[in-house]
Amino acid sequence: MIRSTDSSHGLTEKQVRQVLLTLLLGGTVVSFSNSALNPAIPVFMSVFAVDIVMGGWVLNAYILSMSVGLMLSGYLSKRFDFRPVYSTAILGFMLGSVIGMLAPSMMMVIVARAVQGFSGGLIIPLSIGMLYQIYPQHRHGRVMALWGIVIMMSLAFGPLVGAYLVEQFAWWTLFAATLPLSALVMVMVWTWLPDVRAHKASKPFDVIGFVSLLVWLLALMTWLSTLKTDFHSSFASMVGTGLLAVLFLLSFLGWWAYERQQSQPLLDVRLFNNKVYLHCTIISITQTLGLMVGLLLLPILVQEVMGESALWTGVILMTATLVSSITTHFAGKRVDRHGARSIGILGILISALSMLMLAWCLYQPTLWLLMAIMSIQGVGVGLAYLPTTTVGFSSLAKEVVTEGAALNNISRRIVSTIFITLVTVYVAGRGAQLLAAGSNQSVSTAIQEIFVILAVMLFLTVFSARQLPKTA
C-alpha 391/C-alpha 381 separation (Å) is 15
Q: What is the CATH number of domain 269-472?
A: 1.20.1250.20
Q: What is the CATH number of domain 1-192?
A: 1.20.1250.20
- Exposed/middle/buried for residue 397 (C-beta within 10 Å: 0-12, 13-18, 19+): exposed
Which among 144, 391, 401 has a CA at the least distance from the CA of 276?
A: 391
**Per-residue model confidence (pLDDT) at position 233:** 57
**Per-residue model confidence (pLDDT) at position 10:** 65
C-alpha 187/C-alpha 270 separation (Å) is 37
**Per-residue model confidence (pLDDT) at position 354:** 92
**Per-residue model confidence (pLDDT) at position 53:** 57
Contact 65, 218 (CB under 8 A): no
The SS3 of residue 322 is: helix
The SS3 of residue 201 is: coil
Which among 24, 70, 33, 405 has a CA at the least distance from the CA of 185?
A: 24
How many residues are there in the chain?
472
**Per-residue model confidence (pLDDT) at position 8:** 52
DSSP 9: T
pLDDT, mean of each 10-residue run, the chain (472 residues): 49 82 90 76 77 68 82 81 91 95 90 92 87 79 77 74 77 90 92 69 74 82 70 63 82 87 82 91 90 73 72 76 80 72 90 92 84 90 84 83 82 82 77 71 79 93 87 62
The SS3 of residue 190 is: helix
DSSP 232-259: T--HHHHHHHHHHHHHHHHHHHHHHHHH
- Exposed/middle/buried for residue 435 (C-beta within 10 Å: 0-12, 13-18, 19+): middle
